[in-house]
Amino acid sequence: MLFLILSINHCMAQRSKTISVKSLEPKLIAFLITKKEIAPNQIARYTRGENHITITGVINGFLKDDLIDGIYLFSTASSHSKIFYLIIDDSEYKILDLSDERKLKKSIDRTIDFCGKKKYCSDLTKEYISLMVSVYYNINSNPLNRRDKNCSSDLKAKEALVP
């Protein structure tokens, strides 16, 4: 009986383990290397811990080392770098890749699933999705200019929607 109680406590301790920026950073660095977001001459500096990536809560700007359940932005924080999303959910993490339209759609689906699971209100869910679409069009699709090139021209397309 004592063994069973200890086993249950051990399993519960495993499930409630927090994810810290420090423990997650090497995995995110590896992801950013595969996405060519970290220049080859900078890889050693990141892997030695001399350079760090930035992880910030999307809505609340959360910056503590132990990450709570939620959605975060992460990047190398260098100019012209792409931004990716990160979901922390019950001591697990999912990287949301916003580098092309197909991956954006998949990321939107995962975000909607997460928000539904956490019972977030529709306004918060819309905010997450809206920011995700903004990141894709304003930053990731055009990292040198950081503006949605579709919105920089005349607004005739928008005006055409008005009856």
Q: What is the pLDDT along the chain (163 residues), one digit of tens a residue?
A: 433 333 344 333 344 578 999 999 999 999 999 999 999 999 999 999 999 999 999 887 777 788 989 999 999 978 778 999 999 998 899 999 998 999 999 999 999 999 999 999 999 999 999 999 989 988 887 655 545 555 555 555 566 555 5
Nearest in space to 63 (alpha carbons), one of 74, 50, 79: 74
Q: Hey, what are 116's tokens?
A: 């539904």
Contact 67, 20 (CB under 8 A): yes
Q: What does the domain layout of the chain look like in residue ranges?
A: 18-151
Radius of gyration from C-alpha coordinates of the chain: 19
**pTM for this one?**
0.77
Phi/psi at 57 (nearest 5 deg)? Answer: -60, 135
Instruction: State the pLDDT at residue 26.
Output: 95
